[in-house]
Amino acid sequence: MTGEILKFLREKEYISGEVLACKLNVSRVAVWKQIQKLKDMGYKITSDQNLGYCLVSRPDLLLPQEIQKGLSTNYIGKEIYYFPELKSTNIIAKEKALHRAEGIDEGTLIIAERQSAGKGRLGREWFSPVGGTWLSIILYPQLSPSYISRITLMTAVAAVKAIKVCTQIESQIKWPNDILINEKKVCGILTEMSAELDIINWVVVGIGINVNVDRRDFPEDIQENTISLKEASGKEVLRVKLVQTFLQEFEKYYEILKRREFSSVLKEWKLYSHTLGKKIRVDIGGRIIKGEAVDINEEGALILKKEDGELVEIISGTIV
């Protein structure tokens, strides 16, 4: 009911408890209780004896009703599970993805204000304090499992676009999944999947963006290489707008991917690449390969030209 009350509060400057009760077919006491609930969530609502309730300000929380208001996607984010705190949105998303038959549809979103055990790639911890954006999207693509790296690359393009729209900042993609601003990491992507030989059961795309967080809140060893959008832009960023923009971009690129038109996504990825043209070292399960990053192929693999001229195709690895 809070969602409906909010809708009415947004429509008019003032609305009386009586009118709200009538519209929702509940008692005035029930309306009052919901108003208290909204206040507890951080909505500032004043009340005037004659005029009724007035919505003064909204909290900077990633509440489903805030994200969904004005969200123009067809299915990404149509269902949102919101948590003030949880261990990891990817963990919850993976549990939910198993319940597809019970109505966990493609595009379902898990979002949290804070993660107590956020997961990074290669079993690393992902520090996720309040002020960031930590979310996971459940997908059931009818694509071959080999598409997994393309999904990660496409997510990175959507994130760069959303960051640009909301902050004007040009960020760059470090293959395969880091978004950088001034050489420092602002966003990471963790794509997980369950698949059989040639079919995907589910994919969970987890993305973490350091939005309005303070670098000094991060563990000391990663402070140096970390940045937030607030720090880079010099002001707080509207997280709801950022999430909405990201979801819209994500759906757009995911649709392109499903049409198997990855080459157009790849073209954009290359425009934002931080990696191509650089001499790098890549860790592939403990083995280090050195060379120049010359290309990303149609499968999303990095093409490395070794010093002896040999070209190596790397599907999964970490630039060190």
Q: Which residue is nearest to ligand BTN (CB)?
A: 188
Measured CA distances, 89 to 9, 59, 96, 118, 120 (Å): 31, 21, 10, 8, 12
Using CB under 6 A as the binding rule, the residues of this chain from 75 to 104 that contact ligand BTN are 88-90
- When binding is defined by CB under 6 A, the residue of 7, 44, 124, 258 that contacts ligand BTN is 124
Region binding ligand BTN by CB under 6 A among candidate stretches 15-23, 36-44, 131-139, 275-283: 131-139
Instruction: Tell which one of 34, 136, 167, 226 touches ligand BTN (CB under 6 A).
Output: 136
Residues 160-179 that bind ligand BTN (CB under 6 A): 177-178
Work out whether 34 is an interface residue with ligand BTN (CB under 6 A). Answer: no
List beta partners, residue 82: 111
The b/e string for 188-215 (b: 16+ C-beta within 10 A; e otherwise) is: bbbbbbebeeeebebbbbbbbbbbbbeb
Least separation in angstroms between residue 175's CB and ligand BTN is 12
Element (H, E) at 268: helix 262-271
Looking at the Cβ atoms of 186 and 293, the one nearer to ligand BTN is 186
Q: Write down the least CB distance from residue 71 to ligand BTN, Å.
A: 19
Interacting stretch for ligand BTN, rule CB under 6 A, among 69-77, 122-130, 275-283, 297-305? 122-130
Q: Which is nearer to ligand BTN, 94 or 161 (CB)?
A: 94
Dist. CA 17–CA 314, nearest whole Å: 63
Number of residues written out for the chain: 320
Is residue 122 classed as helix, strand or coil in its secondary structure? Answer: helix
Binder among 190, 200, 280, 304 for ligand BTN (CB under 6 A): 190
The residues near 297 (Cβ < 8 Å, ≥ 6 apart) are 303, 313
- Min dist CB 180 to ligand BTN, Å, is 11
Residue 210 sits in the site that holds ligand BTN (CB under 6 A): no
Answer yes or no whether residue 207 interacts with ligand BTN by CB under 6 A. yes
Residues 230-269 within binding reach of ligand BTN (CB under 6 A): none
- Shortest Å distance, C-beta 132 to ligand BTN: 8
Instruction: For residue 188, state whether it binds ligand BTN (rule: CB under 6 A).
Output: yes
For tokens 């949290």, name the residue: 112
Would you call 38 helix, strand, or coil by DSSP?
Answer: helix
Residue of 100, 121, 215, 274 that binds ligand BTN (CB under 6 A): 121
- Sheet of strand 302-305, all strands in order from the earlier edge strand to the far edge: 311-314, 302-305, 287-296, 279-284, 318-319
Pick the closer one to ligand BTN by CB: 6 or 166: 166
Strands 109-115 and 80-86: parallel
Omega before 176 within 30 of 0, i.e. cis: yes
Please give the residue ranges that form the binding site for ligand BTN (CB under 6 A).
88-90, 115, 118-121, 124, 126, 128, 134-136, 177-178, 188-190, 206-208
